[in-house]
Amino acid sequence: MNVCALVLALVLAVCAARSPYQAVLQHSRIRGRQQGPNVCAMQQIIGSDKKYFTNCKQWYHRKICGKPTMTTYECCPGYERIPGEKGCPAALPLMNIYNTLGGVGATTTQLYSDRAKLRDEIEGPGSFTFFAPSDKAWAALPTEILDALVSNVNIELLNALHYHMVNRRLTSEELRHGSSFASMYQGFHVHIHHYSNGVVTVNCGRLIKPDQHATNGIVHVVDRVITAISNNVQTLIDVEDDLETLRTAIAAAGLTTMLENEGQYTIFAPTNEAFEKIPPETLNRILADPVALRDLLNYHILKQMQCAESIVSGTPMETLQGTTLEVGCDGDQMTLNGKAIITKKDQLGTNGVVHYINELLIPDSAKTLLELAEGSSVATATRLFVEAGLSPHLTGSEALTMLAPLDDAFRGSLTMTPDMKKLMANHILKEQMSSKSLYHGQELETVGGLKLRVFVYRNNLCIENACIAAHDKTGRFGSMFTVDSVLTPPMGTIMDVLKADDRFSLLVGAIQTAGMTELLNQQGALTFFAPTNDAFNALPKAELNKLMRNRQELTDVLRYHLGEGLLVSGGLGSHTRLKCLQGDKLELGLRNYTVYVNKVPVAATDLMATNGVVHAVHSIIKPLRESQQADGPAAPLRSASSSRSSGRVRVPHVFLPAATGSDLLKRFNSKHIISVHIRKKPVWPFKTNRFLIPSSMHDTSRHW
């Protein structure tokens, strides 16, 4: 089967499927089609006997719960092989439920049905659904439980088997997500979940062989022995000694009633040990703050019920707190945010499921600013904030926003000095903000007393020279913006910046000679690509002297280095144009973390000023020729005769291949072409990867 046909078949199959399970079954049928009729391809985890009908994503990844899989081929449900024939061409003969159990890997259930005097019932008339534990499910029961079931005059065993039965026929299509059905044991309900990945569970046991039809009903083989459920999740927590601290916290947060009412909750329940791992001051602060406590607990509760067997890969799931947890698996272990911290799974209640965890999950919304920083990749900034004596701001209840530079943003000595203390204070803004509410030209006040400007660019959002490098973290009272640079707050005008830096002493003299001092001192927003002393000294002495004596020419050169608008390095894209005061445009680019202006590398960026920004260059910037506008200089196209003289060849007709001709014309001086013919094929009868001008046009053939 070709790829297009396979893709079309998969799309049609998924569209025609009536349930997620039917969708993955159809996918498995198509994958197994080459093995013969009614063959299903399954993914089996290597080293185990666990098999799955899978979707396209799992098929191509060849992994389930992070473990590699191999493909096995089996008869699809309801079919069997015939010796000597390909595939599974024969439909299984219909038998009653008792006999069907023996043919689908549930012989132990069949045996116990005999022992419990259930055989007559499941052989006789009726229409039943039997969730039959597999042989391995019975073997996995603790010995004391199994002994208690089979030794109590068979009544307990009969009750257990009746709880696996529903007095009506239910196909997998009718086992809808969140549904429940009265069992044949005192009306206790069995709880069904039918997940989007095709996994179907009953009381959190996975159906491993669904839809095994019988004359008097249907059998679904399940991977565990299920037990009757009568308690809600709050009751489960109330009776568990290991959840005492959680029980107290739930009561203090006023969540008890919610967990007693109807719902479909998943609770990741921290044990007493999990609470003990938290520093006492942090735990006491959260327990004493009703808002933080409620956020903490809601962060442990999912909006939907998620049994362990439903997880085949990491999936983000929304919590009642509003953010997400990544619920995944690693082999047989269930994971949270990539950590195997779940110690007990699938404690099922009438309104949800409880999984025990040995680590408390603290959401950002319950953290102080200092705790936000300590949990991020800003360790250097965190240390400096503390050393600068700013901890009271970061651990209190003030509404603040912290600008936290990444670790690699720091350069040079990090000794705590008065200037460093002042700098770190200027990384804390006086209000709690969201980066989504910032706008261009906005001014933000710091606890150090400075006003910082906001610059909004097409590809970035910057506060002075520091651009936001990650999503906001919003804590209990404050927010944290992770930024890519340490702030360099403006301390004067562009002229002040230049005068304070010895690298620009010759430039300062040139500005004064050109009469541009007032321009660089007045209010505005300019970007100055400022030539250093090295740039002036690189000019031939005669050329430099001539430039310095010609005020108009000097003014034009300096104005060519001044761009309209304030552009910090973080606002640059791969190709940016900036209009300069001289009238032309500067071509800016960013390659390998280096900023270029008209092909000249920028030696130092983002020297901030109150009326602009200064970027240092070690060369005088000159206008680019048209052929240099692209990333690299383009070699001019020349014929042999033009290479020997300054004259130009007049080519009356040019034939060019369609694939490359149009691109070549852009580089050829069109004034010298009378007519152009774009051909689908070259006019010459031989293969070549070079263009030829026929020799009749000039004295020597020339390759382009």
pLDDT tens-digit map of 226-245: 999 999 999 999 999 999 99
Cβ proximity of 346 and 193 under 8 Å: no
Q: What is the pLDDT of residues 66-124, one digit of tens each?
A: 999 999 999 999 999 999 999 999 999 999 999 999 999 899 999 999 999 999 999 99
Q: Where are the domains of the chain?
A: 20-90, 93-222, 233-361, 367-483, 494-617
- For the chain, how many residues are written? 704
CATH (residue range 233-361): 2.30.180.10
Helix (H, G, I), strand (E, B) or coil at 132: strand
Contact 186, 192 (CB under 8 A): no
Q: What is the reported pLDDT for 651?
A: 40
205 — phi, psi (to 5°)? -90, 135
Q: Do 367-483 and 93-222 fall under one CATH topology?
A: yes
Name residue, tokens 């006492």.
280
**Average pLDDT for 190-219:** 96
Contact 638, 667 (CB under 8 A): no
* pLDDT above 80: residue 628: no
CA 104 – CA 703 distance, rounded (Å): 76
Share of the chain above pLDDT 70, in %: 86
Q: What is the mean pLDDT of residues 266-295?
A: 96
Q: What is the pLDDT of residue 376?
A: 86
Q: Which residue has the higher pLDDT, 674 or 587?
A: 587
Closest by CA position to 565, among listed 597, 529, 612: 612
Q: Kindly list the distances between the CA atom of residue 281 and the CA atoms of 288, 291, 597, in Å, as whole numbers in the listed order.
A: 11, 17, 53
Q: What is the mean pLDDT of residues 561-583?
A: 92
Mean pLDDT on 535-555: 94
pLDDT by residue (tens digit) across 476-499?
999 999 999 999 999 899 999 999
The SS3 call for residue 262 is: coil
Q: What is the reported pTM?
A: 0.79
pLDDT in tens, 380-405: 999 999 999 999 999 999 999 999 99
Q: What is the mean pLDDT of residues 565-572?
A: 94
Supply the CATH classification number for the domain 93-222: 2.30.180.10
**Is 494-617 CATH 2.30.180.10?**
yes
Task: Output the six-digit token pair for 288.
Answer: 């004493």
| Predicted pLDDT at 697 | 37
CATH number for the segment(s) 367-483: 2.30.180.10
* Residue 61: both structure tokens together: 């990844």
Structure tokens at 635: 């070699």
Check if the beta carbon of residue 434 is closer than 8 Å to that of residue 474: yes
